[in-house]
Chain A
């Protein structure tokens, strides 16, 4: 907290980056990359540093390929995915806790 205050009070470059885009400083991307690396690395290569380094370099590429393959397998999503690629976006896996329905809207109004 004090670090952030210091950067803010002196208007240091990192504060400008923070104020422009906080999300950029989320290192969730690193966790995702390591997760993909661990999943894609064959078990018999996982103890080998050189193999891991090689896989590490192509992690981003593997991620794109796996998403493309996934989309292709799902047929109807493939078309959407191609559109996403054109737009520079990718479909993402996520879950919704509860869908909004008439009952939940009524409950929200009543409560």
Chain B
């Protein structure tokens, strides 16, 4: 067996989900012209729109623990599924629309959809079945929906917006990133951000003999994160008290440091986080490290974990408004996490006090 053999095993699975409720995919017309399914690039890159999104994300409170749905509904099921609050929710949850009931496998294609060639060939197969972007098919005046995972979605997004020859497909095809993959990926993000600082220690205290690579499997990660959120209720007051104490010490230290600068005892401002001459006064040798660590720990418990579980639960709940709010929160989590998880988190969090 060689590399070519393994490459030949990279196939693509195609399935359809059958919608059993009211809904049509007919073209929407404006001035007798159908609207494109995919937004134009000018819409996606509009600066004003990005500013609006940025502002709306800024309004999302980092103190999410008290208001998050997973705590309010006491979500304890793994895989995450919220407890229903009324008959409608109960009826919806019992249908399991994300299960196998409405999924019908179509075929396995011998193409590697992770590669550009394989993606184009797989999409072509779908096109010949569904007719999007083609003329003279039974679905001529209808849109189509392509539901895919992150790798396929991102690859397709770049291709379809890069080549003008694919404009008919862009017009007809709603490319939707599968909602569950965002949840799965957010778990990976959480481990990347907090593994070395907090999560690995907690993981090994629970499972000392197990191996932890980048992240545990999703079910174990979801269980672990759920346990953390349950435990947080107990030690939250202590953590908040410690945070307030060290924040007061930091402020006091900075005041003394400023006084020392003015009096000439210290002449280099860049030493502010390393000068230990004042430390015995407060018994805080490395206050800055502790402060940042506590900020990150609070961010993990107050925002990151509730956001993650809320998003997972919102997919199952099926309420568009709840899901969109959860999506915004998880987008904020992603944006905050781009700077290696310390500085941005710290600044965002400190600004809340």
- Which A residues fall within an 8 A CB radius of B? 1-7, 10-14, 16-34, 36-37, 47, 49, 52-53, 56-57, 59-60, 63, 88-90, 92, 94-98, 100, 107-108, 111
Contact = CB atoms under 8 A, between A and B. Distances in A.
Nearest to A11: B28
User: Which 8 pairs show the lowest CB-CB distances between chains A and B?
Assistant: A27-B178, A26-B98, A6-B39, A28-B180, A23-B97, A23-B318, A97-B76, A29-B103
B37 A12 contact: yes
Nearest to A64: B100
B100 A29 contact: yes
Interface of B: 9, 11, 13, 15, 17, 19, 21-26, 28, 35, 37-39, 43-44, 49, 53, 74, 76-79, 81, 92, 94, 96-105, 107-108, 110, 143, 145, 147-149, 174-176, 178-181, 223, 226-227, 230, 233-234, 236-237, 314-320, 323-324, 327-328, 331
A34 B97 contact: no
17 contacts: A2-B43, A2-B53, A4-B327, A6-B39, A7-B174, A12-B28, A13-B25, A13-B174, A27-B178, A29-B102, A30-B149, A52-B108, A56-B13, A56-B105, A94-B79, A97-B76, A98-B76
Query: Would you call the interface of chain B mostly helix, strand, loop, or mixed?
Result: mixed
Given A21-B21, A33-B100, A13 B78 contact: no
A74 B97 CA distance: 26
A95 B145 CA distance: 33
Contact of A24 (B19, B76, B327): B19
A27 B147 contact: yes
Contact of A13 (B21, B28, B110, B178): B28
Given A2-B43, A22-B315, A94 B176 contact: no
Contacts of A57: 105, 107
Contacts of B15: 29-30, 33
B132 to A, nearest CB: 13
A49 B24 contact: no
B11 A60 contact: no
A97 B49 contact: no
B108 A49 contact: yes
A67 B17 CA distance: 21
A27 B97 contact: no
Given A10-B28, A18-B320, A33-B105, 14 more contacts: A2-B49, A3-B38, A13-B28, A13-B143, A22-B319, A23-B98, A23-B315, A24-B19, A27-B178, A29-B15, A33-B100, A53-B107, A96-B76, A111-B234
A23 B227 contact: no
B40 to A, nearest CB: 9
